[in-house]
Amino acid sequence: MAKSPSFVCTACGATTSKWSGRCETCGAWNTIEEVKPLSDGPGGKALGKSRGTPLTLTDLSSAEKEPPRTVSGVTELDRVLGGGLVKASAVLVGGDPGIGKSTLLLQAAARFARGGMKVMYISGEESAGQIQMRAQRLGLTESPVQLAAATNLRDILTTLEAEAPDLAVIDSIQTMWLDTVDSAPGSVSQVRSAAHELTSFAKRRGISMVLVGHVTKEGQLAGPRVVEHMVDTVLYFEGERGHQFRVLRAHKNRFGPADEIGVFEMTGRGLIEVKNPSALFLSERGEPAPGSAVFAGIEGSRPVLCEFQALVAPSPTSQPRRSVLGWDGGRLAMILAVLESRCGVAFAGLDVYLNVAGGLRISDPAADLAVAAALMSAREDAALPSDAAIFGEISLSGAIRPVAQTENRLKEAQKLGFTQAILPQARKRGGESGLELRHMADLPAFVEALFGER
């Protein structure tokens, strides 16, 4: 019996049984598309290693409990993957156009190939000759990577079946199409079907599959969200075009920690690993200036120091502007409200601009205190101590709450030459860090200590 068609929202991926002009889930207009059901797979297969025998966790061998990993030699990439590439896994890599996704994966494919893996790079956006030109510019022509330019998924799977590579890179999933799905390449049904076929093939044949995905103007991976659920790992390649820094961030990882980051620098010879990202993000920091504060943060499992820059100026309009780059705009509004309510510092009639230097994006809540310090420094036109690192979470009551991994933050600050740290009042004292520690119990005490009584 044939299955009835379903309808999917291209904006949020919600599925409905009938078409409508407006998605009831996200409220977007004219985003509902009909999706024909996938053909039924072969039935009658039992679960487990043999027919009729279920598999329990106690039956797993030691090799099956710990999936074997292959290290590429690109330390930053291996860190984000959780220690290396896992066999029979599917990895989805997304990022803005021109950010360097193809460059990163071509370099990684070359390193894997030189390490003994059989690697195939399949592009639906470039010809094999164009890929060779890029490889020549990157100095990768001696790497034994097999290249192919194709978009028909049936041909690609047939080639993968015959060649049996250890790693296959598909660039990109939006260009792949199945002749069994009646829609254009890049549509919801094509992307979903192609991702399903490639992921299933990787699991069946034990091939590591890396898929490149485009992103929308909102910064989300294009296509249905179900694609992110299909794969094992979702990586975002972030960065600003005006900066040479690139950050590879894990948003999902079944084989390692999420929110881990790897830092690269874009050069004329491709992407170069950054061993000490804190020194890189602070390398262009000049003389102490009002509105500048150094934040000692934690990204994934590594401490990273970066600079918050704030500018406070009189607003020429009745509605002051709040502009944020690299941080959460809603959290900035909360910090401004706490400063006004608990400390009596008004920002009414003032435009507020906040930026994270270097194009880095910060999600650590411990950045609250550094942001408050940068805002007060800009408003009072008073520079903060250049040798001070700041971190701490601010609550709505104005209290400064302790944060995790305090010792790692302090060690990183000391390694980069900082001599003092402003941090929350600790419940228990840690080991000696070699820094002068200035503990703050609440935001009013912090403002009074650094900028005088309000």
95 is known to lie in a ligand binding site:
yes
Which residue is it, tokens 């028909």?
A: 152
Structural tokens at position 369: 């205190």
Say what angle helices 443-451 and 329-343 make with each other, to 10 degrees. 80
Neighbour-count burial for 301-316, b at 16+ CB within 10 Å, e otherwise: ebbbbbbbbbbbeeee
95 burial via Cβ count (<10 Å: 0-12, 13-18, 19+) = buried
Tell whether residue 5 is among the known ligand binding residues.
Answer: no
Backbone φ, ψ for residue 212 (5° rounding): -95, 130
- The DSSP call for residue 189 is H
Side chain identity at residue 261, one-letter code: I
**DSSP letter for each residue of 215-276:** B-TTSSBSS-THHHHHSSEEEEEE--TTSSEEEEEEEEETTS-TT-EEEEEEETTEEEE-S-
Q: Pick from 64, 340, 70, 38: which is nearest to 197 by CA?
A: 38
Residue in this structure with the two tokens 């047939």, named with its chain if needed: 158
Fill in the DSSP letter of residue 86.
E
By the 8 A CB rule, do 307 and 295 touch? yes
- 323 is known to lie in a ligand binding site: no
Residue for token pair 């959460």: 328
98 labelled ligand-binding: yes
The response to whether 100 counts as a known ligand-binding position is: yes
Asked whether the beta carbons of 78 and 188 are under 8 A apart, the reply is no
Annotated binding-site residue? 99 = yes
Q: CA–CA separation, 128 vs 282, rounded Å?
A: 40
Structure tokens at 181: 């799905």
Q: Which residue has the tokens 């027919």?
A: 51
**Adjacent-strand bridge partners of 237:** 95, 248
Instruction: State the binding site.
Output: 95-102
Annotated binding-site members for ATP:
95-102
